[in-house]
Structure 1
């Protein structure tokens, strides 16, 4: 009987033991290839977002992080990834983000890169839609939550107001995700206490090595590239990078794609997402508010990271489709106030490279749908991003980080009252 059971389960047990030994071993697996990095740079795959190995390798190569969310997936021919490939930009965009990624996810992802981004550059596309009154949804943060990146945070983050705030937010948003030693360690960080000896030994010698090896083994296996979209876009672009010609291409593509609806929205999106409920959506967004949100403090965590690592960062504030906003009642004054508030948070701390496109939402073929950049919108982004990304080194930067932006009082201040905010 025992022999039969062993014949059935023995190989499984042996394989499991071997895999466990492999994951806990000090052996490091192969470095991601150039092809893997190229595929990962546009994949927006969750395993890349939640991992470390591929991003670390990319930032040591000729890639600069372009951080955002769902807009990054709108890969028409004028998208920076396509333009960089066509016109052989020296440094290529590495897209970090997906629908549902917001500031706290990006902070965890960034801080886990360690020194790989020190003294370098990044681009951040700030979606106003992140800044809803309740901030990031717990289920979305949970989906992109990375125990690997959290283990780095627990081991390396020094006690500070930002560290305590980040730990509290992770605890609040991952009640069913983190447990045991990791959760207890987060509680210590949230209280400003050092990790216990048991916590340090477990995370450093068991938990983190296992997670690192999982990342090295599996993150390269499940990357869905966008080679077809890139190839399609490359065929459309002219051989020479001439702004007037590119604007004509963007206009032609946009006009064809948005024909047949009053909002200048891509036809497929309009027919599937808008038309069936169009009457119900009139005036539906009149009470939307992007001025009061915990997201402003989550966003501050990214700024704290950029400052600590002496990075030069370009921030892009995209618009909302103005015709759609008018129909749904979304307030342009509120959007302007959001822009004022986030710009104040940036500039008051020394982040002055801001491309504010808030008032461009009425431009033809600027938006692909209701909130996402399209053909001429991406072209305007390209005009700013390309020269910024021409060099990878940050140069001399100077920031003055204020912990006041982690406070509830800043989260709630209205955009037209920021000048009265006392730091």
Structure 2
């Protein structure tokens, strides 16, 4: 009987044991490998978004300068003027490492940053702010578990020092992810309590295993975006770089690709996402409000992390498609009021590198769809970002104001432009 059982289950047990041994032997700090890194940098998959090993590997490569580009679904709009295509085609001194997913708002970005705090220290980054993040919590934060990995939570617990921002983030974690296995320790941090020696031992042990798993699976997470979408487009770019020529090419391409609708939206997006229910969307955004949201507090946690890491960051505020906004009734005055609130939160704390593109939504072929940059919009984006990353910048001098972590700021609606005196 024992022999029969072994013949049945023995191979399975051996296979499982072999996999476990292989995982435990995996190197969580692999050597630089440009082929792996350049593919991971543009993969835009949830797996790469969660992987600390791949991000640390690329951002630590001393021979190739990968710069973190934080954002959301705009990175997937890979037309011929996409920042990764331009950086590749014109052999820039940097390559964007795209960190974003649809719905990956500030809180998700903050936890991801906990994996790369060493790689952010005294470096540069680009951060695209999506105004669509700034809505009521009930409509968006349910997505956080999709973009969060246990390793990120463990890194946060290991990095935390009991600051106001640490306590705020721990409270938010418990609110949006109450059944997670780390909730107990997160609650301690939220309450201002010190983690015990046993807690810290668990964090260290769990993180060791998580990083081993990440290292083992990381080479399967890079997808083939580079070979299919980046390299072929980069090879077709006109040489040498010429802004006027590129703009003419972008406009010509966009005219062809937006021929089936009046909004200058990419044909495929309009056909798949809008056409069948276009009539129902008329006036559908007239009650949208981006001015009052807990997202402003979550965004502040991100700013605290950048300040702690002394990261020089360029923030980009994109527009919305003006023609589409008019059709759906999105209030332009409300939108600009939210932009002013974002800009005050940045500038008052010393985050002075801001590319405000929010008023450009009516420029020809600036947007690829309803809310994402494309063609001429990417070229304008590139002008700001390339200059920022390739010319010497003044060292940042941040002065963090923790009032921006309070609900009073989240719910504050200025009655007039620059009406922010109570938060100075």
TM-score range, shorter chain: over 0.9
Three-state SS of the structure 1 residue aligned to 2:137 is coil
1:249 and 1:416 mapped to 2: Cα distance? 43
Are the counterparts in 1 of residues 89 and 235 from structure 2 also a CA contact under 8 Å?
no
Alignment of 1:179-258 (within 5 A): 179=181, 182-205=182-205, 207-226=206-225, 227-258=227-258
Are the counterparts in 1 of residues 71 and 99 from structure 2 also a CA contact under 8 Å?
yes
Are the counterparts in 1 of residues 48 and 221 from structure 2 also a CA contact under 8 Å?
no
Residue 148 to residue 130, structure 1, CA distance change in 2 (3 Å)? same
The question of 1:275 aligning with 2:278 is answered: no
Compute the displacement of 1:240 (Å). 1.2
Q: What residue is the counterpart of 1:114 in the other structure?
A: 117
1:399 and 1:136 mapped to 2: Cα distance? 32
Output one character per residue of 1:92-112: Cα deviation in whole Å (capped at 9) or x when no partner.
111000112110111111122
Alignment of 1:73-152 (within 5 A): 73-134=76-137, 137-152=140-155
Three-state SS of the structure 2 residue aligned to 1:188 is helix
2:324 and 2:26 mapped to 1: Cα distance? 55
Compute the displacement of 1:86 (Å). 0.5
Structure 1 outlier segments of 4+, above 6 Å = none
Of 19-28 and 221-230, the range deviating more from structure 2? 19-28
TM-score (norm 2): 0.94
Q: Pick one of 158, 166, 173 that aligns with 2:176.
A: 173
The question of 1:329 aligning with 2:329 is answered: yes
Compute the displacement of 1:175 (Å). 2.4
Residue 17 to residue 292, structure 1, CA distance change in 2 (3 Å)? same
Residue 415 to residue 368, structure 1, CA distance change in 2 (3 Å)? farther
Q: What residue is the counterpart of 2:163 in the other structure?
A: 160
1:26 and 1:93 mapped to 2: Cα distance? 27
Residue 34 to residue 78, structure 1, CA distance change in 2 (3 Å)? same
Three-state SS of the structure 1 residue aligned to 2:97 is strand
Question: For structure 1, which runs of at least 5 residues remain unmatched after alignment?
Answer: none
Residue 409 to residue 17, structure 1, CA distance change in 2 (3 Å)? same
Q: In the comparison of the two structures, how many residue pairs are matched? A: 418
Q: What residue is the counterpart of 2:43 in the other structure?
A: 43
Q: What residue is the counterpart of 1:357 in the other structure?
A: 357
Are the counterparts in 2 of residues 121 and 394 from structure 1 also a CA contact under 8 Å?
no
1:51 and 1:403 mapped to 2: Cα distance? 30
Q: What residue is the counterpart of 2:68 in the other structure?
A: 65
Are the counterparts in 2 of residues 120 and 394 from structure 1 also a CA contact under 8 Å?
no
Residue 194 to residue 404, structure 1, CA distance change in 2 (3 Å)? same
Q: What residue is the counterpart of 2:409 in the other structure?
A: 410
Compute the displacement of 1:16 (Å). 3.1
The question of 1:421 aligning with 2:411 is answered: no
Residue 192 to residue 330, structure 1, CA distance change in 2 (3 Å)? same
Compute the displacement of 1:88 (Å). 0.4
Of 147-156 and 270-279, the range deviating more from structure 2? 270-279
Three-state SS of the structure 1 residue aligned to 2:10 is helix
Q: CA RMSD in A?
A: 1.8
1:42 and 1:131 mapped to 2: Cα distance? 26
2:138 and 2:233 mapped to 1: Cα distance? 35
Output one character per residue of 1:374-402: Cα deviation in whole Å (capped at 9) or x when no partner.
100000001011121226x8752210001
Compute the displacement of 1:26 (Å). 9.0
Three-state SS of the structure 1 residue aligned to 2:120 is coil
TM-score (norm 1): 0.94
2:237 and 2:350 mapped to 1: Cα distance? 37
Three-state SS of the structure 1 residue aligned to 2:359 is helix
Output one character per residue of 1:315-349: Cα deviation in whole Å (capped at 9) or x when no partner.
00000000110111001101100110000000000
2:214 and 2:393 mapped to 1: Cα distance? 29
Compute the displacement of 1:32 (Å). 4.9
Compute the displacement of 1:114 (Å). 2.6
Q: What residue is the counterpart of 1:54 in the other structure?
A: 54
Q: What residue is the counterpart of 2:367 in the other structure?
A: 367
2:327 and 2:280 mapped to 1: Cα distance? 11
Are the counterparts in 2 of residues 314 and 354 from structure 1 also a CA contact under 8 Å?
yes
Output one character per residue of 1:107-145: Cα deviation in whole Å (capped at 9) or x when no partner.
111122131210000000100000012267243211111
Are the counterparts in 2 of residues 126 and 317 from structure 1 also a CA contact under 8 Å?
yes
